[in-house]
Structure formats: structure tokens, C-alpha cells
Amino acid sequence: MKTLVTIISLLALPQADAATLNGTPSNYTAQLGKLKAGDTLKLAAGAYKSGLNVSKLNGTAAKPIVISGPASGSPAVIEGRSCCNTVEITNSSHVVIKDLKLDGKNLAGVFGVSAKGGSANLTHHITIEGLTIVNHGASQQTVGISTKSQTWGWVIRRNTIIAAGTGLYLGNSNGADPFIAGLIEHNLVQNTVGYGMQIKHQYDRPSRPGLPTGAQKTIIRHNVFIKDDRKSPDGDRPNLLVDGFPSSGGGPATCTRSTATCWCTTRASRCCRPPGGWRSTTTSSSTSPGRRCGWATTSSR
């Protein structure tokens, strides 16, 4: 009987409730490390000088982790540093980042929101909402929101990006780190040097835990992209460019070209000939889809 009573008592114990943590410029880095599924970190108004490093934070669909600033009034300002991107997201999932101001101070190479690292970084179901991103325009290559890792399920909503080098750059320039199944809506991207937004081309979809293998849709709706007459020193770019998706299966059946790499077609004897006259060639790699043709150049965003 005592054993039965003990078991019933243990089952009846309440589950730990999600916690709301308060963050200030002096304690927020420590508070970040305490977050678990369902928790919320509320950042008070003020200047946060150590960036925002979202690393190994994993919520769930039912219990996301939320990091937010004040919904109105004076903002919580995440300030850029020369060492790091203003917000860096690494190996995290089901995280909401909202109602913050990001000030990059126009430091060279400092992005606003970044998920970099290629296959070493798995980020999915990230929501970026209500951010104001300013002073990330040191060059055309400086980006407001950038993903260069294998990402899916991102929501980018109601953000304002002003005078960035490039507004949004989603997916890596070589097509290896696709941006899949995203929702991009109600954003204002104003006065960029290069693209307002580009979603990069994709080839063979990598095999990663949880990464969708079937057909997916990325929805782009109700956004405003406005460019002024500023010069684009790395070449003129449109407001919005969506590069090629795989035409079937897990990769392209036709030649997909970017300024980064010339990719081969299935059974093709030649590679794409990009603007400016890269030579076409016949190589052993041109019989294998998704293989490089033997030359490449640095991509310009």
C-alpha cells in the first residue's frame, strides 16, 4: 500500500511551469543560459553591449522560447561589436526573437541577424518579428538578416530594415545551405545598397535530422522593398530576387548558375556561361549533377 501511495503521489506532482525571466543590460547574458522550452526572457529598455548570442536554445512547437523587448516605448537596443554579428543564432530551434532594435553602428562585416556555419549549424523554426535593424550598411556585403546554414520553418515578420548593405540574404551563395519552408511577410526594407532581399538557388538538398525532404513552399507576401539612388559599388541589384529551386527531386536537372560557382547539368557537356564570359568547358565533372566545373569566383550580394 505504501508503494502504491508513493507512486500516485509522484504522478500527481505538477509539471514545472514555463518561466518569465527579466533581463537587463547587466544580467541578460546569464539569463540567456537559463532558458528552456516555454520560457520567456523580457529585456528591459536600454543598451545591450554584448550582442545577442542565441546558442543551443531549443523550444518546441507548443512551447517556444521567446526573447523580447518592450512592445512600446523606449526599446531594448542590441548594439553591434566589431567581433561579432549583432544577433547570432546557432543550433537552436523554436525560438522567437521580437520587439528589439539592432544597431550595428555601421561596423565593417557586422550583420544584423545571422545564422551562419553551413552544415555545422542547424537552425529551424525561428521567428524574427518586430525588429528595427539600423546601421548595418558599412558595405554592400553587410546584411540585415542572413542565413548561411541549412534552415527551415523560419518566420520573418513585421521587421523594419533601414539602409543595410543588403536587406535579407537567405541561403548560402553556393546553393548548399537552402532556406526552406519560410514565411516572409509585412516587412519594410528601405534604402539598401544591394538587394532588398535575395533567396539563393538550391541544388541537392542535404540530409539532416528533421530537414523536410518533400515539396515545400516559402511564402513571400505583403512586404515593401524601397531603394533610393545610392550607388551599388559591387554591382546593381534588384529589390527582390528569388533564385532557382531544384526543378525535380533533391536537386536540379538543368544548369543553375550563380556568380559564385558554375554548376553542371545532368549529362551536360558544358557548364553555364555566366555574364562576363567564363569559358565553357568539357570536364569529367560535367557528367555528374551538382559537381563543380573546376572554377569559381567570389559571389557578390
SS3 6: helix
Same domain, 144 and 226: yes
**274, part of any domain:** yes
Q: 266 versus 78: which is more confidently predicted?
A: 78
Same domain, 192 and 144: yes
Overall average pLDDT of the 107-126 stretch: 95
Q: Do 112 and 260 lie in a common domain?
A: no
**Are residue 239 and residue 169 in the same domain, yes or no?**
yes
Q: What is the pTM of this model?
A: 0.78
Question: Is-contact 88 117, C-beta < 8 A?
Answer: no
What is the per-residue pLDDT for 216? 85
Are both 108 and 147 inside the same structural domain? yes
Q: Are residues 165 and 77 in the same domain?
A: yes
Comparison of pLDDT for 296 and 99, the residue scoring more: 99
The answer to whether residue 77 is domain-embedded is yes
Q: State the Cα angle at 159 between 209 and 46, rounded to 5°.
A: 100
Domain of residue 285 covers 253-301
12 is a domain residue:
no
pLDDT at 250: 54
Give the burial string for 289-301 (b: 16+ CB within 10 Å, else e). bbebbeeeeeebb
Asked if residue 199 and residue 116 are part of one domain, the reply reads yes
Query: Which of 252, 271, 292 is at the close of a domain?
Result: 252
Residue indicated by cell numbers 528533421 = 210
Same-domain check for residues 221 and 267: no
Cα separation, 209 vs 32, whole angstroms:
25
Residue 218, pLDDT above cutoff 70: yes
Cell of 88: 547570432
* CA dist., res. 140 & res. 159, Å (int): 20
In a domain, 241, yes or no: yes
Please give the grid coordinates belonging to residue 38: 516555454
CB 201 within 8 A of CB 242: no
Within-domain flag for 11: no
Clarify whether residues 212 and 262 are in a common domain: no
Residues 170 and 110 placed together within one structural domain of the fold: yes
Residue 176 pLDDT: 82
Report the C-alpha gap between 24 and 43 in whole angstroms: 6
DSSP string, 22-90: EE-TTTHHHHHTT--TT-EEEEPSEEETT-EEEES-B--SSS-EEEE--SSSSPEEEEPBTTB-SEEEE
* Interval 203-215: pLDDT, tens: 777 788 888 888 8
Given pLDDT bands bounded at 50, 70 and 90, which one contains residue 16? low
Within-domain flag for 90:
yes
Asked whether residue 9 is domain-assigned, the answer is: no
| Residue found under cell 553551413 | 118
- Tell me, yes or no, whether 2 lies in a domain: no
Structure confidence by residue, pLDDT tens digits, 20-59: 999 999 999 999 999 999 999 999 999 999 999 999 999 9
Q: Which three cell numbers stand for residue 291?
A: 559537381
Non-local (6+) Cβ contacts of 98 within 8 A are 66, 67, 68, 69, 127, 128, 129, 130, 131
* Residue 19 predicted with pLDDT over 70: yes
User: Distance between CA 290 and CA 219 in Å, rounded?
Assistant: 26
Q: Are residues 48 and 137 in the same domain?
A: yes
Over residues 167-191, the mean pLDDT reads 92
- Are 243 and 257 found together in one domain? no
238 vs 39: CA distance, rounded Å: 40
Question: How many structural domains comprise the chain?
Answer: 2
Q: What is the pLDDT of residue 62?
A: 97
Residue range 67-95, pLDDT digits in tens:
999 999 999 999 999 999 999 999 999 99
3-state secondary structure of 122: strand
